[in-house]
Each structure stands twice: as structure tokens, then as C-alpha cells.
Amino acid sequence: MEFQAVVMAVGGGSRMTDLTSSVPKPLLPVGNKPLIWYPLNLLERVGFEEVIVITTRDVQKALCADFKMKMKLDIVCIADDADIGTADSLRYIYQKLKGHTHSMWRFPG
């Protein structure tokens, strides 16, 4: 069975506003790496060649500039002020799921 990996990196970190007022939550530094690096690194290490990342434009710019991943990052951007949940985010990328609707891994980013 083939899997499709999806990293959800949309949330604004509403419960950590002191930290996220100037830096998007997925880019918060944890151990000298941005938070989003950890699920992407894990997916690459276990052999994924492609991952869909749902995020905002600010995070997209950082991903394109700072990340040197071997796997393809299919970055889907939503509006910075959009406050959508998991189900709406997945509905937003439904056409990109390549028929893997029963074999998808969702990772928080």
C-alpha cells in the first residue's frame, strides 16, 4: 500500500501567543531547528519521496529558502488569516491526494 504524507503547518499557535507574535509556529526554533523540520526530516528518513505541506506564505518562503530536502515538498498555501481546522485543510487539498484517501498520514507541523 502506498501512503501520502501531509504535514499540517497552518495553526497560529493561539495558546502560545508570547512566542508566535513575531514568528509563525512552524518556524519556532526547537533545538536549533524550526519546529516544522522535525516531521519533514522524519518523513524523509523513512523513505517518503514527496510530502504535501499545508501552510501560509511566510512559512512557504522559509521552506523554499532554508530547507534542502531530497524529497519533493508540494507546498499548498492558504491565506495568512484563514482559521481552518484539520478537516477543512484536508478538503482544501483533496484533489492532490492522488486517490490515497484511505492511506494518508497526517503530521502536525
pLDDT per residue over 63-72, tens digit each? Answer: 877 777 677 7
Alpha carbons 105 and 103: distance in angstroms, whole number: 7
Q: Which amino acid is at 22?
A: S
Does the predicted model carry a pTM greater than 0.85?
no
The CATH fold assigned to 4-108 is Spore Coat Polysaccharide Biosynthesis Protein SpsA; Chain A (3.90.550)
In degrees, to the nearest 5, what angle opens at C-alpha 57 toward C-alphas 109 and 71? 55
**Contacts of 45 by beta carbon, 8 Å cutoff, 6+ apart:** none
Q: For the chain, what are the domain ranges? A: 4-108
The mean pLDDT value for 78-100 works out to 72
Cα torsion for 24, 27, 60, 64, to the nearest 10°?
160
At 101 the pLDDT is: 54
Please say if the pLDDT value at position 1 is more than 60.
no
pLDDT per residue over 49-83, tens digit each? Answer: 888 888 888 888 888 777 776 777 787 777 666 66
pLDDT per residue over 15-37, tens digit each? Answer: 766 766 778 888 888 898 888 88
